Chain A
Amino acid sequence: MKILVVDDEPDVQALFEQRFRREIRAGEFQFSFSFSGEDALNYLENHASEVVMILSDINMPGMSGIELLRSIRKDRPMAPPVIMMITAYGDKENYEQAMKFGADDFLTKPVNFTELKQKLQERYEG
């Protein structure tokens, strides 16, 4: 399962790779990383059929996670990827917006990796 992680913090890559070391080694998950919304759209342009799931931060410089979400839902209605939004601001407004534009899940930072792992496993198996 290919997962695209979108976050403006480059260290997120190291963190995910270490957190999911076993799963990556076992070949369960395959992670790609984009460091902005624009980046992510470019990546999807070339790897549209591969990406099954997107984990995106909301507060990013340039294109925000919500804008990214809207753009993906608008331009790629066929074979839609699962999109989970992650934000440091767990407020109602962000949540409602994310849900309105078609997010599948909503997580708040700091990310609980045990929970995330569980959710990913469920999607992987289901």
Chain B
Amino acid sequence: MEFFLLTFFLIQFLQKRLETPAKYPDLDKILVFARYASIGLLSAFYIFNSSTFIHWLWYPFVGSLLWFVYNKEEFKVVRPLIHSALPFIGISLIADFAELILSQKIFNQCETYFQAAKVFAFLWLFALWYNSQKQQKALEREREEQRKKDEINEAKKNALEYLVNERTIELTRQKEELQKTVDELKATQNQLIQSEKMASLGELTAGIAHEIQNPLNFVNNFSEVSVELCQELEEEIDKTSIPEADKEYIKEILGDLSQNQQKITHHGKRADSIVKGMLQHSRTSSGTKEPTDVNALADEYMRLAYHGLRAKDKEFNATLTTDFDPNIGKVAVMPQDLGRVFLNLFTNAFYAVAEKKKLSKGNPALENYKPEVKIVTKLFGGKLYIRVTDNGTGMPENVKAKIFQPFFTTKPTGQGTGLGLSMSYDIITKSHDGLLDVETVAGEGTEFKITLPVG
């Protein structure tokens, strides 16, 4: 009976403590089998009238069960329990042996001791088990607490991780923003350097012009007056009585002299017009802004430039396309200055398409080339955008880099001063606080982009 209880509780205990049905299904099968075997043995014991043989069968059964449990790695934690069972089994074994060997009389005398020892061993066993159970519970409580702490820690950790993540995202965003700002600053710096360069070149140009103008005035004036002097001299010669042949010869020389003076005047005037152009650099800001119909202004100068070129080259022809934003109204600009910008841009555009037209002759690739110059205006977001586009010769990168510099020109000598675009640049960026940009593809065309702040 005691052994049954022992096995029964042991198996129950193992199953519960180690959760064998879930964790070790193979071992659990053996435990279940052992339980049925113990029930079988108990039943057999009573069926066969408390047979001593059956009683003895308990020893190998319990021994092998304990042995089995003791040697399994999985049951390592319950080994102390096996130890605690040993005294009871030992006392039972000794008592049973004593019953077997000793005479009934002697045995009867000590049976009470055996019984008492057995009870103590049994109590000892259960006390240990109970204790173990208690410890187990305490442990579990501790584990539970630990688990709760872990949970709290886990929650804290998660919260921290969330924070870190959030901060990381924030920092990344800030970094990107900073990067963007740095890029913008770099672009602005480049623009500033460029406009500073242009400004100092413009000032230098104006300064040079001032210095040149005075001596140039003398050249022009003296050459002009020399022409008059030649005429006077010719008149005076007629009054003298030197031979006609000599007079003719002198007059011939005077004619040449006069012609030379005229050439000096002619080229002097040419230089003078260049100097005038240069001086306009320093006078770009002298105008005042007034409400102007920019569309009408652009249209006027487009036609002016077109007819200017037509006058020189009768064959020239180009399509003029206008795409004006009707909502612009009147914008405060310096009409004369902006007109000069338009004139420069359109003159260049027409020149570029005319050049390409010349190239297209005898070139099958450009057989269907149709020169086109286009102006687009658009008011958007407090800014006025103006685009002057042509499908002319375009510019290579090295030319594009220099077009806003004073005196840079690709036109043949005498046809361009190289001041048009540099002045336009000054007018747009300095007088109007705007932007003048260019996009170009060599052989394809060019687009000049003006951006003006409005209001």
Contacts A15-B225, A18-B229, A19-B225 hold; do A110 and B220 have CB atoms under 8 A apart? yes
A122: interface (CB < 8 Å): no
| Residues in B neighbouring A9, C-beta threshold 8 A | 214, 218
| Residues in B neighbouring A110, C-beta threshold 8 A | 213, 216-217, 220-221, 272
Tell me if A21 and B213 are in contact (CB < 8 A).
no
B361: interface (CB < 8 Å): no
Report the bound CA distance from A44 to B213 in whole Å: 30
Tell me if A109 and B214 are in contact (CB < 8 A).
yes
Tell me if A91 and B286 are in contact (CB < 8 A).
yes
Give the Cβ gap from A63 to chain B, nearest Cβ, in Å.
Answer: 19
Place the interface of chain B in its size category. Answer: 10 to 19
| Residues in A neighbouring B221, C-beta threshold 8 A | 15, 19, 110-111, 113
| Residues in B neighbouring A11, C-beta threshold 8 A | 218, 222
Number of contacting residues on A, CB 8 A?
14
B283: interface (CB < 8 Å): yes
Tell me if A88 and B286 are in contact (CB < 8 A).
no
Contact with B along A85-99 (1 / 0, CB 8 A): 000100110000000
Give the Cβ gap from A60 to chain B, nearest Cβ, in Å.
Answer: 12
Tell me if A18 and B218 are in contact (CB < 8 A).
no
Chain A residues in contact with chain B, CB under 8 A? 9, 11, 14-15, 18-19, 21, 88, 91-92, 109-111, 113
Chain B residues in contact with chain A, CB under 8 A? 210, 213-214, 216-218, 220-222, 224-225, 228-229, 232, 272, 283, 286
Chain A to chain B contacts (Cβ below 8 Å), 26 pairs: A9-B214, A9-B218, A11-B218, A11-B222, A15-B221, A15-B222, A15-B225, A18-B225, A18-B228, A18-B229, A19-B225, A19-B228, A21-B232, A88-B210, A88-B217, A92-B286, A109-B213, A109-B214, A109-B217, A110-B213, A110-B216, A110-B221, A110-B272, A111-B217, A113-B221, A113-B225
Report, nearest first, the 10 A-B pairs whose CB atoms are least far apart. Answer: A110-B217, A18-B225, A15-B221, A19-B225, A11-B218, A109-B217, A88-B213, A110-B220, A88-B214, A15-B222
